[in-house]
Structure 1
Amino acid sequence: MRNPNDVFHLAIPARDLDEAFDFYVKKLGCKLARRYDDRITLDFFGDQLVCHLSDRWDREVSMYPRHFGVTFRDKRHFDNLYKLAKERGLPFYRDLSRRFEGLIEEHETFFLIDPSNNLLEFKYYFDDRMMY
C-alpha cells in the first residue's frame, strides 16, 4: 500500500519545454522542481510529473486510451481549478460536464489539453466512495 508521503511519478512527452513550462507552471499553477535541457520536473498537485522533450508526442488527440489528471475529494478545490482554467484561458478538450447522472458514480469532469496534446482530466465524485 502506498504511504501517504510517497509520490506518484508520471512521465509524458513534450514537444517544447518552454510551452510545457508556460502551460503547467504559469497557467495551471504547478511548481517547477527541476529543469534540464531535456526535461522539466513538476509538482503536479502533490505528485511528480516529468515532461520529457520528445518528437514522439501525439499528433492526433484522443481521450482513450491515454489521459491523466486528478480526482478531487473537496468540491471547492475542483471548482477553483475549473475557475482558474477558465480565467487563464487554458485550452479545454471538453468543458465541464456531468457523467453517470443518478448513479452512485455520478461525477463532474472537464478535460484540458496541453501544448503537446496530452489530455488532463479533472473530476469530482459526489459520493467519495467512488474515488477508486
Structure 2
Amino acid sequence: MRTTSDVFHLAIPTHDLDAAQEFYVTKLGCKLARRYDDRITLDFFGDQLVCHLTPGEPAAPESLYPRHFGVTFREAADFEALHACAVTRKIPFYYEVSLRFEGLVEEHRTFVLTDPTGNLLEFKHYNDPRMMY
C-alpha cells in the first residue's frame, strides 16, 4: 500500500525539453530534479513527472477526455494561488475556472492548463474533501 513517503510517477511526451522546463519549472513552479538529453524529471506537487523527448510536432488537444492529469488540492487557498499564478504568468488555459456538479456533494471548481506539447493539466478543489477520491 502506498504511504505518504511514496511518490506517484507519471511519464508524458514533450517535443521540446527547453519549453517543457520553462513551462513546468519557471511558470508552474515545479522543481527540476534531473535533466538528461532525452528527458527532464520534475517534482510535480510532490509526485514525479518525467517529460520524455518525443519526435514530431505538438498536436492541439482535441478533448480533455480521456487523457489529462493534474492535482486535486485539499485546500481552497492552494487552488486559488495556483490559478492566480497561472493568470499572472500567462499560462495558456484550455478551460478557465468553472464549477462542476453544482449543488451536489461532489461539487468542485476546476481549471485546465495546456503545456507546450498539448498535454492537459487539470487542477481541482472539492468543497467536501471526502469527494477527492
TM-score, normalised with respect to structure 1: 0.97
RMSD after superposition: 1.1
Deviation at 1:65, TM superposition (A): 1.0
Query: What does the per-residue CA deviation read over 1:19-59, in whole Å, with 9 as the maximum and x for residues that have no partner?
Result: 00000000000000000000000000000000000026762
- Which consecutive aligned stretches of 4+ in structure 1 deviate over 4 angstroms post-superposition? none
Deviation at 1:60, TM superposition (A): 3.7
Query: What does the per-residue CA deviation read over 1:96-126, in whole Å, with 9 as the maximum and x for residues that have no partner?
Result: 0000000000000000000000000000000
Q: Which residue of 2 aligns with 1:30?
A: 30
Q: Which residue of 1 aligns with 2:104?
A: 103
Query: What does the per-residue CA deviation read over 1:33-90, in whole Å, with 9 as the maximum and x for residues that have no partner?
Result: 0000000000000000000000267624121110000000011001000000000000
Q: Which residue of 2 aligns with 1:129?
A: 130
Q: Distance in 2 between matches of 1:56 and 1:75?
A: 38
SS of the residue corresponding to residue 78 of structure 1 reads helix
Structure 1 residues not aligned, in runs of 5+: none
Number of positions where the alignment pairs a residue of Structure 1 with one of Structure 2: 132
Deviation at 1:13, TM superposition (A): 0.1
Q: Which residue of 2 aligns with 1:117?
A: 118
The 5 A counterparts of 1:4-83 are: 4-55=4-55, 59-61=59-61, 62-83=63-84
Checking the alignment, whether the CA contact within 8 Å between 1:42 and 1:50 is kept in structure 2 is yes
Q: Distance in 2 between matches of 1:13 and 1:85?
A: 21
Q: Distance in 2 between matches of 1:24 and 1:60?
A: 18
Q: Distance in 2 between matches of 1:121 and 1:113?
A: 9
Identical columns (%)? 67
| Residue identity in the other structure for 1:125 | Y
TM-score, normalised with respect to structure 2: 0.96
Q: Distance in 2 between matches of 1:126 and 1:106?
A: 6
SS of the residue corresponding to residue 24 of structure 1 reads helix
Q: Which residue of 2 aligns with 1:2?
A: 2
SS of the residue corresponding to residue 99 of structure 2 reads strand
